[in-house]
Chain A
Amino acid sequence: MTFTIPNFIPAIPEIFMLVMICVILMTDLFLGKRIKSIAYSLTQLTLIGAFLLTMHQYGMPKVYTFDHMYVLDKLAILSKLAILLVSFFVFLYSREYIGMTKLPRGEYHILGLFAVLGMMVLVSASNFLTLYLGLEVLSLPLYAMVALKRDSGVASEAAMKYFVMGALASGMLLYGLSMLYGVSHSLDFTAVAKVVSETSPAHSLILIFGLVFIIAGIAFKMGAAPFHMWVPDVYDGSPTSVTLFISSAPKIAALIMAYRLLVESAPGLIIQWQHVLMVIAVLSIVLGNVVAIAQSNIKRMLAYSSIAHMGYMLLGIIAGTKAGYASSLFYVFTYSMMSMGAFAMLLMMSKSGFEAENIEDLQGLNSRNPWYALMMLLIMFSMAGIPPAVGFFAKLGVLEAVINANMTWLAIVALIFAIVGAYYYLRVVKVMYFDDPKDATAVTAPMDMRIAITINGLAVIALGLFPSALIGLCRNVFFG
C-alpha cells in the first residue's frame, strides 16, 4: 500500500484555528481569572489571523487535498472570508453583553470558535463525510451556546429543542446521504454527481428518495419552512448575543452546504430539487412575512423575518443558473450583515438586568440616540429591500434570476410578500422615530461597538450605492 503525505497548505487556516482554540482553552484555564479579557482578545486575534491566512489563498487555483475530501475553490475562500469577517463583528458586539450577563467567557469564545471552524470545514468539504462532520462541528457548539445561560429555563428549553430537532435533521440528512452512497458507492461529490447524472430515470427513484431527506436536512439548517419550527423558539430563548451569532454566519455555511449537496453532487436531479425548493421557498416567504407581522417580540419578529429571507435566498438556487447561485451568495452575505446589525442594536439597548426584546423597547430611540436610530433605520430599510440600501439589490438579483429561469410567478409571489414584509420593518422605524420613549435615558455603548455598528450600518448603504464590487466577487466565484 502506498501513501503520500497530503498537502496541508490549503487547510492552513483551519489548522491555525484549531491550534489557537487549544491555546485559548489552556490560556483561559490558567489566566482567565486574572486577565478577564484574555479569551476575547485571543479569539479576535485568531479570527484576524485566519482571515489573513485565507486572504493569502485568495486567487489560488482550485485545489483538492486529503484524498479529495477537502476542496479549496473560490466559493470556499470567499465564503470563509465572509464567515470570519462576520464572526469578528459578532464577537465584538457580544463582548459587553457577555460580561453583563455573566456568561462564562472562556467557554463562550471557545465554543464560538469551534462553530466557526465547523463552518470553515463545511464550506471546504468535497465529500459527504467531511461535510457531515463540518455540520456537526458547527452545530454542537451552537446547541451548547444556547444553553450557556444555565439559570434560565427558557434558554435550556430552547437548547433542548434545538438539539433534539437538530439531531433529527442530522438523521434525515445522513439517511439521505446513505441512499446516494448506496447507489454510487462513493462519498465524493464529483463521483456521486457522475453516477447521479448517468442513472436512468427509471432507476433514479431511490436517488429522489434520498434527495428529499437531504433537502429536509438542508432546510432545517437554514431554518426554512416547513422545517423552521425551531427558529422562533431558539432565537427568542437564546441569550441575544447567541441569537446574533446563529442568525448571521451559519446562514452562509448553510447556503454553501445546499450548493455543494444539490448543485455539486446532484446536478442530475435538478428538476426534482427545484420543485421541492420552490415549495419550501414559497412557504418560507409567505409564512415568514405573514407571521412576523403579528409579533410584538422583536427577536421573534426577526426570527420569522429570517425564515422569509431564507426563502428569498433559495430563489437563486432554484433558478439553477450560475447567475442565480451568485445572487444567492450575494443575498446571504448581505443578509448576515443586516441581521447582525439588527441584533447588535438589541444588544446595545440591553442593560444589566434588562433585555431589549420587545418592539416597544425601541420606542423613541431617535430621541435617545439619533445615530443608532439612523443605523437601525438603514438596516430595516435594507431588510425591507428599499433602494438604495443593499437589500434592494439582493432581492433584485434573486428575482431577476428566477425571472430569467422562466419562473415569473415565483418572482411575483416573492414580490407581493416582500411588500407585505416591508410593513413590519417600517413599523420598527415608526416606533423609533414617532413614538415617545418610555425610558428617556441616552443609549450608550463602548467605543469599539459604536464604531462597529457605524461601519455595519454605513456598509448597508454603501454597498447599496456601490454594489458592483461585491456582486462582481460573487459572480466571479461561479463564472470566473
Chain B
Amino acid sequence: MHQDSVLHNLSLTMVLAPLLGAIVAGFFGKVIGKTWTHRVTILLLMVSFACAIYIAKLLILDGMPSYNGVIYTWADVGKYQFNVGFLIDRLTAVMGITVTFVSLLVHIYSIGYMAEDDGYQRFFSYISLFTFMMLMLITANNLLQLYFGWEGVGLVSYLLIGFWFHRETANFGSLKAFIANRVGDMGFLLGIAAIMTYFGTIDYSTIFADAGNFTQTTITVLPGVHWNLITVVCLLLFIGAMGKSAQMPLHVWLPESMEGPTPISALIHAATMVTAGVFMVARMSPLFELSQVALTTVLIIGAVGALFTGILGVIQSDIKRVVAYSTLSQLGYMMVGLGASAFSAGIFHLMTHASFKALLFLSAGSVIIGMHHDQDMRNMGNIRKYMPITYVAFLVGALSLSAIPPFAGFYSKDAIIDAVHLSTIPGAHFAYICVVLGAFVTALYSFRAFFMTFHTKERMSEGLRKNLKESPWVVWVPLVILVVPSIILGAMIAGPMLYDPHSILGNSVYTAPQYDVLKIMAGHWHGAWSAVAESIYTPAFWMSIAGVAVAWLSYIVFPRLPNFVTRRFSWVYYILDRKYGFDDFNQIIFARGTVGLGKALFKYADLKLIDDYMVNGSGRGIEWFSRTLRKTQSGYLYDYAFAMILGLLVFLLWLLLG
C-alpha cells in the first residue's frame, strides 16, 4: 500500500507538473514576461524529469512491482467505466525518462532558438502542454486515456506545425498532418470500439487477461466474411499507429511538418510523438502476439518504410527534410523490431533514436540559426570552421544514426536486424533484406548531409559567412548533453535491456514463446565490447561503412559524381523527387478525384435523377406535403388543437386496433 502511494504521487507529479507549466505560460505568460516563463516551465519540467528518474529507479533497480490504479472515475455509464488511471510499469518508466529528458533539453534549447519570436510564451505553453499530453498517453491504464493523450499530442502538433501561421506552407503542412492523422485515428477509434464491444472494458489489465479467451472468436465483417477478432482489432489499432508514427502510406505528413520551428521537429516529430505508435504497439503486445497476421503486417509495413523513405532522404537538399526522412526510416526500423516480436529491441531503438535524432535536429537547428533560417544545404559548406561544437554534435549524431559501433544506434539497430534475421514470422526474409539495404541508405544520406553541410567549400553569401559563428550557450549546451547518451546509451544498457532474463522492460511487454527471438540472441551475447568486435562479421556493418564511404567519395573526393548520377539516371531521380508519387496520388485521387466525383454526381445524379425524376415526379408530392405541413403550423389555434386531436386519434387507433 505504501509503495503504491509513492508511485501514485510520483507519477501524478510527473504528469501534472508540465500541465501547470503550460497553464502558467499560457495564461500568465504576458504578465510574468519571457524570462520567468521559461524559468517556470523549465523548473517544472525538471521536477517532472526527476520524478521520471525516481520512478525508473524504484521500478527497475529496486524491483518494485508496477502500479495500476484509478486516479479518478470520469464517468460510470452503465457497464462501462471511464477512468483516468495510471499504469506505471517498466515500459512507462523507460518512456517517461525519454520523454521528459528530451523535452527538458528542448525547453532549454528553445530559449535560444525562439528568443526573437513574438510567440515566445505561447511556444513554451505549447511544448509544456505537449509534454503533459505525451505523459498522459504513456501513463494511461486504459484505452480512453491513451486516446485522450493521442489526440492531445496530435492537437498540439498541429498547433505547432502551424505556429508560424503566416507562412502559406506552414498552414498547408498542418492541414496535411491533420488529414493524414484523421485516417489513422479512424482506424484507432474503430479498434477501441471493437475492444469495448467484445471485451466489455477498455482497461488494459482486463483486456490482456481476457485476450486468451478470444483467440478463436471471429467477427462477421461482411455477410459471409469471418475474420479473427484479435487480428481485426490489432490491424485497426495498427492503422492508428501508422498515422501517428508516419508509416507508409500515411507518412506523407511528416516531411511537411518540418515547417514548424526546429525544436518542435526535434521534440515532437522525432523523439516523442511519432513514437507513440511504436509505444502503443508495444503496450498492446499481448494482443499482437496472438495474431501472426498482425505481426506480419507490422513487419512488412515497417520494413518497406525503413528502406524506401530512407532512399528519399538521399536526394533532399533541405537539411531538416533529410533528418525528417531519416526519422521515417528509423520509425520503420522500430516497427520492424516490434513485428519480429523483439519488443525490447523496438523500444530500445526508440530510446537511442530519441537521443541521436534530437541531437541531429538540434544541431541542424543550430546550423539554421547560424544561417539565418536558410535550410538549404546547397548554400552551406565548411561550417565546421565556424561552428565546431555543432560540428562534433552532428558528427556524433550521424555516426550513431548510421549504426557505426560503438555508438548507441549500433546496438539498437543491430539488435533489430538480428531479430528479423532469426524471426520465423512470414515476411521476415523480405524484411531482413530491406533493413540490411536500409543500413547502407541510412549511412549514405546521413553522411551526405554531414559532408555537404560541414565540409566542402563555403557556398553561402559573403555577408552571411562573415557573421557565421557558434550559437549561444543555451543552444549548444543541450547538444553537448545529448552527445553523451548518443554515444554511450547503447553500450550501457543494451545488455540489461535486451538480453537479461530479467530485462529492463520485464513483463511489461509480452512475447509469445514461439516468437521469442531475443532469447536466442541472448545466447550469443557476450557483452557490449565483444559485440563491437563481432560486428565486422555482420553484413549490416559493412553496409553502413559502404554508405559512409560512398558519401565520402561522391561529395568530397569526386564532387561531380552526384550530378553525373542524377543526369544518367534521371528517371530514378524523377521517381524519387516525386516521392514515389504518394503526394501526387493523394492529390489526384483524393483531392481531384473527389471534385471529379462531385461533378459527375452533379451532372448525372443531380441533373438527371433528381431534377428529372424526383423533382418533377414526386416533387409535386413533396410540395403538397410541405404545404400541408405549413398549414398545420399556421398559427391558428384551431389548427393546433386539431393536430393534437388527430395525434390522439392515430395513437388510439394504433393501440386499440393494431
The answer to whether A and B touch directly, with their CB atoms under 8 angstroms apart, is: yes
Interface residues of A in 162-177 (CB under 8 A from B): 164-165, 168-169, 172
CB-defined contacts of B644 to chain A, threshold 8 Å: 165, 168-169, 172, 216, 220, 226-227, 229
Chain B residue with the shortest CB-CB distance to A230:
B640
CB-defined contacts of A465 to chain B, threshold 8 Å: 74
B655 touches A272 (CB 8 A): yes
Option from B632, B652, B654, B656 in Cβ contact (under 8 Å) with A229: B632
B74 touches A168 (CB 8 A): no
Give A118 Cβ to nearest chain B Cβ, in Å: 22
- Is residue A293 within 8 Å, beta carbon to beta carbon, of the partner chain? no
Interface residues of B in 641-655 (CB under 8 A from A): 641, 643-644, 646-648, 651-652, 654-655
Alpha-carbon distance A325/B186, docked complex (angstroms) = 33
Alpha-carbon distance A213/B644, docked complex (angstroms) = 11
- Is residue A38 within 8 Å, beta carbon to beta carbon, of the partner chain? no
B76 touches A164 (CB 8 A): no
- Is residue B635 within 8 Å, beta carbon to beta carbon, of the partner chain? yes
CB-defined contacts of B461 to chain A, threshold 8 Å: none
Alpha-carbon distance A105/B563, docked complex (angstroms) = 89
CB-defined contacts of A132 to chain B, threshold 8 Å: none
Chain B residue with the shortest CB-CB distance to A283:
B647
- The stretch of A51-59, A349-357, A392-400 in contact with B is A392-400
- Is residue B31 within 8 Å, beta carbon to beta carbon, of the partner chain? no
CB-defined contacts of A478 to chain B, threshold 8 Å: none
CB-defined contacts of A471 to chain B, threshold 8 Å: 75-77
- Is residue A279 within 8 Å, beta carbon to beta carbon, of the partner chain? yes
- Is residue B637 within 8 Å, beta carbon to beta carbon, of the partner chain? yes
Report whether over half of chain A's contact residues are helix, strand or loop; otherwise say mixed: helix
Give B72 Cβ to nearest chain A Cβ, in Å: 8
A468 touches B651 (CB 8 A): no
Give B639 Cβ to nearest chain A Cβ, in Å: 8
Interface residues of A in 214-263 (CB under 8 A from B): 215-216, 220, 226-227, 229-230, 232-233
CB-defined contacts of B637 to chain A, threshold 8 Å: 160-161, 164-165
- Is residue A99 within 8 Å, beta carbon to beta carbon, of the partner chain? no
- Is residue B633 within 8 Å, beta carbon to beta carbon, of the partner chain? yes
- Is residue B73 within 8 Å, beta carbon to beta carbon, of the partner chain? yes
Scoring A residues 424 to 444 as 1 if CB is less than 8 Å from chain B, else 0, what string do you get? 000000000000000000000
- Is residue A100 within 8 Å, beta carbon to beta carbon, of the partner chain? no
B641 touches A468 (CB 8 A): no
- Is residue B513 within 8 Å, beta carbon to beta carbon, of the partner chain? no
Alpha-carbon distance A68/B141, docked complex (angstroms) = 51
> For B72, B74, B77, B635, which residue has the most chain A Cβ atoms within 10 angstroms?
B77
Chain B residue with the shortest CB-CB distance to A225:
B647
CB-defined contacts of A172 to chain B, threshold 8 Å: 644, 648
Alpha-carbon distance A197/B76, docked complex (angstroms) = 33
Option from B74, B640, B646, B648 in Cβ contact (under 8 Å) with A466: B74
Alpha-carbon distance A182/B37, docked complex (angstroms) = 77
Option from B77, B632, B640 in Cβ contact (under 8 Å) with A397: B77
Once A and B bind, how many residue pairs between them come within 8 Å at the CB atom?
Answer: 75
Alpha-carbon distance A172/B651, docked complex (angstroms) = 13
Give A412 Cβ to nearest chain B Cβ, in Å: 15
Alpha-carbon distance A396/B75, docked complex (angstroms) = 11
Chain A residue with the shortest CB-CB distance to B79:
A404
Give A389 Cβ to nearest chain B Cβ, in Å: 13
- Is residue A205 within 8 Å, beta carbon to beta carbon, of the partner chain? yes
> For B72, B78, B641, which residue has the most chain A Cβ atoms within 10 angstroms?
B78
CB-defined contacts of A153 to chain B, threshold 8 Å: none
Chain A residue with the shortest CB-CB distance to B648:
A216
Give B415 Cβ to nearest chain A Cβ, in Å: 42
CB-defined contacts of B651 to chain A, threshold 8 Å: 212, 215-216, 276, 279
Give B146 Cβ to nearest chain A Cβ, in Å: 16
Chain A residue with the shortest CB-CB distance to B638:
A164
CB-defined contacts of B72 to chain A, threshold 8 Å: 466
Give A286 Cβ to nearest chain B Cβ, in Å: 12
Scoring A residues 394 to 417 as 1 if CB is less than 8 Å from chain B, else 0, what string do you get? 001100110010000000000000
Give A279 Cβ to nearest chain B Cβ, in Å: 7
CB-defined contacts of A211 to chain B, threshold 8 Å: 655
CB-defined contacts of A169 to chain B, threshold 8 Å: 644
Give B202 Cβ to nearest chain A Cβ, in Å: 14
Alpha-carbon distance A213/B651, docked complex (angstroms) = 9
- Is residue A32 within 8 Å, beta carbon to beta carbon, of the partner chain? no
CB-defined contacts of B74 to chain A, threshold 8 Å: 465-468
A468 touches B655 (CB 8 A): no
Alpha-carbon distance A230/B641, docked complex (angstroms) = 9
A229 touches B648 (CB 8 A): no
- Is residue A374 within 8 Å, beta carbon to beta carbon, of the partner chain? no
B633 touches A468 (CB 8 A): no
Give B257 Cβ to nearest chain A Cβ, in Å: 27
Option from B75, B77, B639, B655 in Cβ contact (under 8 Å) with A212: B655
CB-defined contacts of A208 to chain B, threshold 8 Å: 655-656
A233 touches B635 (CB 8 A): yes
Known A165-B640, A229-B632; contact A213-B648, beta-carbon cutoff 8 A: yes
Known A168-B641, A209-B652, A209-B656; contact A226-B78, beta-carbon cutoff 8 A: no
B640 touches A467 (CB 8 A): no
Known A208-B655, A212-B648, A212-B655; contact A229-B633, beta-carbon cutoff 8 A: yes
Chain B residue with the shortest CB-CB distance to A215:
B651
CB-defined contacts of A276 to chain B, threshold 8 Å: 651, 654-655
Q: Contact residues of A with B, CB < 8 Å?
A: 160-161, 164-165, 168-169, 172, 205, 208-209, 211-213, 215-216, 220, 226-227, 229-230, 232-233, 272, 275-276, 279, 323, 393, 396-397, 400-401, 404, 465-468, 471-472
Q: Contact residues of B with A, CB < 8 Å?
A: 72-78, 632-633, 635, 637, 639-641, 643-644, 646-648, 651-652, 654-656
7 other contacts beyond A212-B651, A229-B632, with CB at 8 A cut-off?
A: A172-B644, A211-B655, A216-B644, A226-B647, A401-B78, A467-B75, A468-B74
30 contacts between A and B (CB under 8 A): A161-B637, A164-B637, A164-B641, A165-B637, A165-B644, A168-B641, A169-B644, A172-B648, A208-B656, A209-B652, A212-B652, A213-B648, A215-B651, A216-B647, A216-B648, A216-B651, A226-B646, A229-B639, A275-B655, A323-B78, A393-B77, A396-B77, A397-B77, A400-B77, A400-B78, A401-B78, A465-B74, A467-B75, A471-B76, A471-B77
